[in-house]
Structure 1
Amino acid sequence: MTATLYAYAFLDEFVLLYPVYALLFADTGLSVGQISSLFVLWSLTGVLFEVPSGAWADAVSRRLLLWLGPLLGGAGFALWVLFPSYGAFAAGFVLWGIRGALGSGALEALVYEELELLGAADRYARVMGRSHAVGQSAAMAAMGLAGPVFAAGGYRAVGAASVLACVLCAAIATRFPEHRPPKGDGDGWAATLRTGLADAHRDRSVRGALLLVPAVTAVWGALDEYTPLLVRDTGVPEPAVPYWLMLIWAGVTAGSLLSGPAERLGRAGFAAVLTASALALALGALTEAPAGIALVALAFGGFQLATVLADVRLQHRIEGTGRATLTSVASLGTEVLTIAVYGAYGGLGSVFGHGTVFALCAVPYLVTAAAVARGRGGGGSTQ
Structure 2
Amino acid sequence: MAALLDARAARRRFVAVNFLFWFPTGLYIPVQVLLLADRGVSVATIAALFAVHSLTAAGLELPTGGLSDVIGRRAVLAASGVLSVVALAMTALATATWVFALAMVLKGAGRALNSGPAEAWYVDTVHADLGPDADLRDGLARGSAASSVALALGTILGGLVPWLLGLGPDLGASLQRATGGVVPPLSVPLLAGAACSVLYVVHVLIALPEPARPSVGLRAVLADVPRTARAGVRLATRDVMVRRIMLTMAAAGSALGVVELLTPSRAADATGAASSGAVLYAGLACAGFTATALGNRLSPWTARVARSGERAILVAELIVLLGLAVLCATAATRTVGPAVAGYILVYIGLGLASPCLNDFLHRRTDSSGRATALSVQSLALQLVGALSGLVAGVLPGGPAAWLPGVVGVSAGALLWLRTRETPKAPPATEAPATDARDAVETPR
TM-score (norm 1): 0.88
Q: How does 1:340-351 map to 2 (within 5 A)?
A: 340-348=387-395, 351=396
Check the 8 A contact 1:248/1:294 in 2, yes or no: no
Aligned-partner SS, 1:122? coil
Q: 1:20, CA displacement in angstroms?
A: 1.2
TM-score by length of 2: 0.77
Secondary structure of the structure 2 residue equivalent to 1:29: coil
Choose 1 or 2 for highest CA Rg. Answer: 2
Matched position secondary structure for 1:372: coil
The question of 1:242 aligning with 2:253 is answered no
- Partner-residue secondary structure (3-state), 2:415: helix
Q: Is the 8 A contact 2:28 2:190 kept in 1?
A: yes
2:145 to 119, 130, 133: 133
Q: Give CA-to-partner distance per residue, 1:89-128, whole Å, 9 cap, x none.
A: 2111111111111111212211111111111663422112
Which residue of 2 is the match for residue 42 of structure 1?
Answer: 53
Q: Tell me the residue number matched to 2:202.
A: 171
Percent of counterpart pairs with the same letter?
A: 25
**Mean Cα displacement is larger for which, 70-79 or 234-243?**
234-243
Q: Using the alignment, how far apart are the partners of 2:46 and 2:288 within structure 1?
A: 24
For 2:421, give the aligned amino acid. G
The whole-number CA distance in structure 2 between the counterparts of 1:18 and 1:178 is 32
**Per-residue deviation, 1:55:** 0.7
Equivalence for 1:380 = 421
Shift of 1:230: 2.6
Structure 1 unmatched runs, 5+: none
Q: Secondary structure at the match of 1:101?
A: helix
Aligned length: 377
Report the AA paired with residue 151 of structure 2. A
Q: Deviations over 1:255-309 (max 9, x none)?
A: 1111222345354442232123212222145334221202210221102222332
- Cα root mean square deviation, aligned: 2.6
Aligned equivalent of 2:346: 299
Contact 1:278 1:365 in 2 (8 A): yes
| Corresponding residue for residue 89 of structure 2 | 78
Q: 1:200 to 1:118 in 2, by over 3 A?
A: same
What are the superposed Cα offsets for residues 323-365 of structure 1, whole Å, 9 maximum, x if unpaired? 11222122222222222123223223xx304x65235522210
Alpha carbons 1:286, 1:356 under 8 Å: kept: no
- Deviation per CA, 1:212-268: give whole Å up to 9, x if none: 333334532663354333333333743444233322222112111112223453544
Give the conservation status (yes or no) of the 8 Å contact 2:257–2:386.
no
Offset, 1:161: 0.7
The aligned runs of 1:214-225 (5 Å cut-off) are 214-217=250-253, 219-220=255-256, 223-224=259-260
Q: Which residue of 1 aligns with 2:11?
A: 2
Check if 1:289 corresponds to 2:335. Answer: yes
Cα offset for 1:65? 1.0
Cα distance, 1:314 vs. partner? 1.2
Q: Summarize the Cα distance change of 1:196–1:158 in structure 2 as closer, same or farther, 3 Å threshold.
A: closer
Letter of the 2:228 partner, please give it.
T
Q: Pick closer, same or farther for the CA change 1:232–1:371 going to 2, 3 Å.
A: same
Q: Which amino acid aligns with 2:297?
A: L
Q: Residues 331, 382 of structure 1: CA spacing in aligned structure 2 closer, same or farther, 3 A cutoff?
A: farther
Change beyond 3 A, Cα 1:362–1:196:
closer
1:14 to 8, 12, 23: 23
